[in-house]
Amino acid sequence: MAAAGAVLLACSAAVAGGWTQADAEKAYWDCEFSAVQGQISLDGAAACSEIYEGLKKDKFDGRFDRFLVWWRENKERELSSRGQRRRPPDD
């Protein structure tokens, strides 16, 4: 599960304070995609929970309603783009 490893690395960077809000958003959508695909470990899920909480706190002042509006506006595009990156090229 390479995606879970990437999530754990992202979480480590977040805890160390070495990332931007854009990094947090990317990590969140990577988590979301991994979860939707059923490719997330328990450790990965815990890391994703930390990423979500940090993003909600920093970007949305801790307000779930604001997060939810953002999530709804971006979900289709973000998950679709990640799914396209995983597809093998057509011959």
Q: In this predicted model, what pLDDT tens digit does every residue of 1-57 receive, in sequence order?
A: 455 556 556 555 555 567 889 999 999 999 999 999 999 999 999 999 999 999 999
Q: Is residue 69 part of a domain?
A: yes
Query: What local confidence, expressed as pLDDT, does residue 88 receive?
Result: 53
Whether 7 is covered by a domain: the verdict is yes
pLDDT of residue 1: 46
Inside any domain, residue 28 = yes
Q: Residue range 58-85: average pLDDT?
A: 94
C-alpha 62/C-alpha 57 separation (Å) is: 4
Domain with 49, as residue range(s), is 2-86
Place of tokens 């909480």: 53
Domain count, the chain: 1
Contact (Cβ atoms closer than 8 angstroms) between residue 25 and residue 17: no
Residue 91 covered by a domain: no
- Give SS3 for 63: coil
The pLDDT score that the predictor gives to residue 5 is 58
pTM here?
0.76
